[in-house]
Amino acid sequence: MNRTYRYYDFLMAGFVAVLLCSNLIGPAKVCAFDLPFLSTALVFGAGNIFFPISYIFGDVLTEVYGYAKARRVIWAGFGAMIFASLMSAVVVGLPASQAESFNTVLQPALETVFGGTWRIVCASILAFWIGDFVNSYVMARMKVLTAGRWLWTRTIGSTVVGQAVDSLVFYPFAFFGIWETETLFRVLMFNWAFKIGVEVLMTPLTYAVVNRLKRSEGEDFFDRQTNFTPFSLKG
């Protein structure tokens, strides 16, 4: 009999919300900050600020509830991203009424914000799906290998691998042949390092949330006999 949990559904909702917002709000905006004492600026995509939080959700879910429960959440996020992409394409593609003057401003804005090319949309969805499953798999396997000790090694280690896969799928798929190869590599490496840095900084909070959930839920799952196929919704 499947157990019921008090907070699992809330974590799923939070994961999907962060995932959608980080992919819909600001991914096309490029930010730049001048670095003190250096003759260069720090340039990054705005969406990258919040996307790593989805990996922290994934770490917490896998650590507390196990890979199978995290797998269901990843599929929920995957479905939400596909629906959001289809909805964006339909809304942008529908003819704007010329009788409403504000459409002359709104339509170009919608096209800029939500009218991503098929390459970028597909790359984003594919990179998320593969990267999150890799992250959850590494997290679950490391928990068994470390006998549940040293949580920080699992959260950071799984992020190093998962975000590497995510970046290696997304950037070449989305921008190869559009950006210069050197630029693509530099952006890939910076965003990979940035996301790992967020994970490291959030480690104390991850510890607090994980410990609180384990006590509240009475759960600390070990994936010793788990079927790690991603193609299942069984939790």
pLDDT digits (tens, 9 = 90+) for 36-72: 776 677 767 677 788 889 999 999 999 999 999 999 9
Q: What one-character-per-residue DSSP string does 155-171 give? A: HHHHHHHHHHHHHHHHH
83-129 tens-digit pLDDT: 999 999 999 999 999 888 889 899 988 888 787 778 888 999 999 99
- Indicate the pLDDT class of residue 140, thresholds 50, 70 and 90: very high
What pTM was computed for the model?
0.91
Domain at 8-217, CATH from 3.55.50, 3.30.70, 1.10.1760, 2.50.20: 1.10.1760
The residue ranking higher by pLDDT, 175 or 205, is 205
3-state secondary structure of 178: coil
59 and 158 Cβ atoms separated by less than 8 Å: yes
Residue 213 has pLDDT above 70, yes or no: yes
Flag the least confident range among 137-141, 150-154, 184-188, 215-219: 184-188
Sketch the domain layout of the chain as residue ranges. 8-217
| Cα gap 90→92, rounded to integer Å | 6
Task: Tell me the average pLDDT across 186-200.
Answer: 90
Please report the pLDDT score of residue 68 as a whole number: 97
The DSSP-derived string for 59-98 is HHHHHHH-HHHHHHHHHHHHHHHHHHHHHHHHHHHSPPPT
- The whole-number pLDDT of residue 26 equals 67
pLDDT band at 2 (very low <50, low <70, confident <90, very high): confident
Identity of the residue numbered 53: I
